[in-house]
Amino acid sequence: MKFVAVEDVAAPIALVWSHVADLEAFEDRARARIGAIQRRPPGPPAQGTVWSGKADVMGKKRDVTVTAATIETWSRLTAEAATDGMQVNIDVDLAELGPRLTRLTVTTEARARSLAARLMLQSAKLARKTLAKRYKGRISDFAARIEKTAAKG
């Protein structure tokens, strides 16, 4: 299952990148929602950093591992998440459309690696429209927060 959200953000690419690449802020938000998260190796997050913990996935507590797979400054960040036979790839691309306009494209694709995961994805496909709307809303909110920051400073 694949979701794509595209937002044109009224902010310079450097500011958008600073928000996209702020992995510690994402870690803090995740910790607030799910509790204990472990980061390896310790220190500032970078390409290859791995986070692990337990999260609610489809109504059940599951072990989740997220890896910062690719960090290409100013243009691309990818993360790979794995849980109970499922692989989720998150790809964030930035494109400079002008000095104060940046296109943010976020693609998330989930693939089943086991029968149980296929069943989980199948039930999620039944709610695809709702999930897609929620996904696009979250990306839109993220872009709006960046624009608010750009307007202040």
Q: How far separated are the first and last CA of the chain, in Å rounded?
A: 38
Average pLDDT, the chain: 93
Whole-angstrom Cα distance, residue 101 to residue 65?
33
3-class SS of residue 32: helix
Cα angle 76-81-84, degrees, rounded to a multiple of 5:
165
**In angstroms, rounded to a whole number, what is the distance separating the alpha carbons of residues 56 and 145?**
26
The dihedral formed by the CA atoms of 131, 135, 137 and 139, expressed in degrees to the nearest 10: 180
- Residue 15: the pLDDT is 97
For residue 104, what pLDDT is reported? Answer: 98
The CA-based angle 118-121-125, given to 5 degrees, is 135
Q: What is the pLDDT of residue 7?
A: 98
User: Is the per-residue pLDDT at 96 higher than 90?
Assistant: yes
- Per residue in 107-143, pLDDT (tens digit) is 999 999 999 889 888 988 899 999 999 999 999 999 9
For the chain, how long is the longest CA-to-CA vector?
50
Q: What is the pLDDT of residues 70-87, one digit of tens each?
A: 999 999 999 999 998 899
Whether 84 and 116 have beta carbons less than 8 Å apart is answered as yes
2-29+74-152 CATH: 3.30.530
Task: Give the C-alpha distances (Å, rounded to integers) separating 38 from 32, 88, 111.
Answer: 13, 19, 24
Of 59 and 85, more confident = 85
